[in-house]
Chain A
Amino acid sequence: MDEQQLSDVMATVLRVPAEEIGPGSSMDTVPGWDSLRHLTLVLALEEEFGIQIPDEEAGSITSYPLIKLVLSELVEARA
């Protein structure tokens, strides 16, 4: 999975510079990352990575490491 792409999508949706996105980024540390923006983030990630994030995970991937984990699995499963 392309981590640069992940950072870029997160930065665009959450409206912060890409270099500020990293393993420490989470709903608690990024000011613009609220529950509304989270929906947009999930949709944008699904579109950019060509995957469908299951219902159970869509609401709970609220940090960079969690998103990376779930995305990697889904991207691998697709390949």
Chain B
Amino acid sequence: MSTRTDPDEALAVLAADTSTLTQLLRAIETLEQQPQERTVRVGVSASATVDLLGVYLRRHGLLAGTGVEIVPGNFDDPIGDVERFRAAGVRHVVLLPFFDGLLPSFEAQLPNLEPGAVDVLEESLRSRYRLAFEAAREMDSVFVGSFHRLGSPVDLGGRDVVATVLHRFDAALREEAAGFSNTRVVDTQDVVSTVGRRAAFDHRFHLRSRAPYTGAFLDELARRITAGARGFGAHFHKVLVLDCDNTLWGGVVGEDSPTGVGLSPHDHPGSVYWRVQHQIAALRHEGVLLALCTKNNPDDVDEVLDRHPDMVLRAEDFVATRINWDDKPANLRALATELGVGLDSMVFLDDSPFECEAVRQQLPMVTTVQVPRTLSEYPRVVHRVAELFLAGGTTTDSRDKTEQYRRRAQAQQLQARSVDQETYLASLQLTVELRRDLPGDAARVSELSQKSNQFNLTTRRYSTAEVERLVASPEHAVYSLVVGDTFGSAGLTGAAVLRYDGDRAYVEAFFLSCRVIGRGVETSVWPQIVVDAIERGCHELHADFVPSAKNTQVADFYDRLGLHVATEADDGSRSYRIDAHDFHTPPPAWIEMSSLG
């Protein structure tokens, strides 16, 4: 073989199970610098921190031949995220609602909740995700993670209240998803089972940064999503082409005779082939086309197909056969022509490393799979082959089923469509308490100023002592925001620092925790702040936007608030002003405001 170039080596790193995260990152970067045949944008919206999922989606996308650009969403904002994804040209969306995050420490809290609270939560979940699915209607594919639990039930039988609610919410999510033909549920509980619960979660980062998942979990999740999206449009497999000897049965029919091949369901190793034949027959029932391509005497193979008592697959199961001594690439070409399908829609399964390599080299567009040397691995390998065909869903039968679901769900949606974003927000019963100069808030305001990056207009960091000084100073005001909704209080989640100088009020800082962005909280506090300034004798409000590496999402915040740009610097910093009496941006109708201090 020719010497490997960098991209080949990088692909080998991506394919290897043993590659470390650092090696993967390097390999991904190498490959992404190459021109890509196909690039797609994938939006990831989650209610947990899943930054690494992007790395693994890029890994599996590249392995399938697709460059993947990740568009990350905000925290727990599926509806807003999908809107932004649409504007950003995203074609595939991943939505990951996190069960333990539905309310803070939901699994621990659940046994202590009133049943009514669970009902409200389910209704909110349904309407939020229905709206997100609705908004994502035009996407090529939408993957929504089902719910899984973080801990184990204490109850020996596994039927505790968490299991009951999880089951119920999971059913609700699946029911909402069923109404959208482009939307698929990804069974995350099965990902946890596959990876192992202990290996799936990192409790350090779960509790500290709401990043509950390990790389192992996110890697397996990304692998499944990529398979489900058919490599993000890289392939659409239709035909499974099978060798015979040591692939459909154990042994060589030309040597062992048609009755002597290993295929008994009760004896090893025949039982492995018998099992595999059932797996392949199941594929046929799902609409996958089967073909034979084998170097044998046709009479021998026909006799096994017709007479062997333990054959699961029979002659009528194959749509085409090439039983001859020609080379396999030539036979595969002939099969493709006969069936009128592209070579790239074929999967070729053979036990011979020689044949597999010949096909890989001459027909790289065919997906070639070799029967593993360790026979016990064979059913698992065929399971992966099945994924190539079925993970993407929609064979003829299932497409009909999808259509039925879609019609039924459309009727339901006509009733439900009145639930728009504003009604949803109203149902949250949002409250904002605007506090002013409370010394007890200083520590939290300081902490928030250190931590807030995305929604932070000037990125000024304050120490607790500084905030205490500003609280006491008559020339300053420190506003803090306490946000609550029907599910409880989110606590002190934002602050504004004002400086008064003669008839001018300057906004020195304004920052919010990303937990509360996107619900109108950010604009709700300004009418009161302006009224306070007027009462102090100020006529003008001045505010600055100072760009940082992380706060681009608020670059136009003051524009949206109705302020006017006064000056703009080369680095993108902008000063705004407005006559206090001209400020007319009302607080959102769905927020109940109160003030303190």
Flag if A9 contacts B22 (CB, 8 Å).
yes
B positions within 8 Å CB-CB of A: 20-22, 25-26, 29, 49, 51-52, 55, 202, 204-205, 208-209, 211, 214-215, 453, 549-550
Quote the shortest CB–CB distance from A50 to chain B (angstroms): 10
Quote the shortest CB–CB distance from A14 to chain B (angstroms): 10
Please, which residues of chain B bring their CB within 8 A of the CB of A34?
453, 549-550
Q: With A12-B26, A31-B549, A34-B550 given, is the CB distance from A43 to B21 under 8 Å? A: yes
Flag if A47 contacts B205 (CB, 8 Å).
no
* CB-based closest 10 A-B pairs: A36-B51, A55-B204, A31-B549, A44-B21, A47-B20, A44-B22, A12-B25, A9-B22, A12-B22, A39-B211
Cα distance A65–B208 in the bound complex, in angstroms:
22
Chain A 22-66: CB-based contact to B (< 8 A → 1; otherwise 0): 000000000110111101101110011000000100110000000
Residue A70 lies at the interface, judged by CB distance under 8 Å to chain B: no
Flag if A48 contacts B22 (CB, 8 Å).
yes
Quote the shortest CB–CB distance from B218 to chain A (angstroms): 10
Residue A13 lies at the interface, judged by CB distance under 8 Å to chain B: yes
Flag if B453 contacts A58 (CB, 8 Å).
no
Cα distance A43–B25 in the bound complex, in angstroms:
12
A positions within 8 Å CB-CB of B: 8-9, 12-13, 15, 31-32, 34-37, 39-40, 42-44, 47-48, 55, 58-59
Name the residue of chain A whose CB is nearest to the CB of B207.
A55
Flag if A39 contacts B22 (CB, 8 Å).
no
Cα distance A23–B550 in the bound complex, in angstroms:
23
Number of CB contacts from chain A to chain B under 8 A: 53
Flag if B51 contacts A43 (CB, 8 Å).
no
Pick the residue among A35, A42, A48, A55 that contacts B20 (CB under 8 A). Answer: A48
Quote the shortest CB–CB distance from A13 to chain B (angstroms): 6
Quote the shortest CB–CB distance from A47 to chain B (angstroms): 5
Please, which residues of chain B bring their CB within 8 A of the CB of A35?
209, 453
Pick the residue among B22, B55, B202, B550 that contacts A47 (CB under 8 A). Answer: B22
Cα distance A58–B214 in the bound complex, in angstroms:
14
Flag if A44 contacts B20 (CB, 8 Å).
yes
Cα distance A13–B25 in the bound complex, in angstroms:
7
Flag if A43 contacts B52 (CB, 8 Å).
yes
Quote the shortest CB–CB distance from A27 to chain B (angstroms): 10
Please, which residues of chain A bring their CB within 8 A of the CB of B52?
39-40, 43
Cα distance A15–B549 in the bound complex, in angstroms:
14
Cα distance A39–B51 in the bound complex, in angstroms:
9
Can you list 21 A-B pairs, Cβ within 8 angstroms, ordered by A? A8-B22, A9-B22, A12-B26, A12-B29, A13-B25, A34-B453, A34-B549, A34-B550, A35-B209, A36-B51, A36-B211, A39-B52, A39-B205, A39-B211, A44-B20, A44-B21, A44-B22, A48-B20, A48-B22, A58-B208, A59-B209
A-B contacts besides A15-B29, A39-B52, A40-B55, 18 pairs, CB < 8 Å: A12-B29, A31-B549, A34-B549, A35-B209, A35-B453, A39-B205, A39-B209, A40-B21, A40-B51, A43-B202, A44-B20, A44-B22, A47-B21, A47-B22, A48-B20, A55-B204, A58-B208, A59-B208
Flag if A58 contacts B204 (CB, 8 Å).
yes
Quote the shortest CB–CB distance from A73 to chain B (angstroms): 18
Please, which residues of chain A bring their CB within 8 A of the CB of B55?
40
Quote the shortest CB–CB distance from B351 to chain A (angstroms): 35
Please, which residues of chain B bring their CB within 8 A of the CB of A58?
204-205, 208
Please, which residues of chain A bring their CB within 8 A of the CB of B51?
36-37, 39-40
Q: With A12-B26, A31-B549 given, is the CB distance from A36 to B49 under 8 Å? A: yes
Cα distance A55–B52 in the bound complex, in angstroms:
19
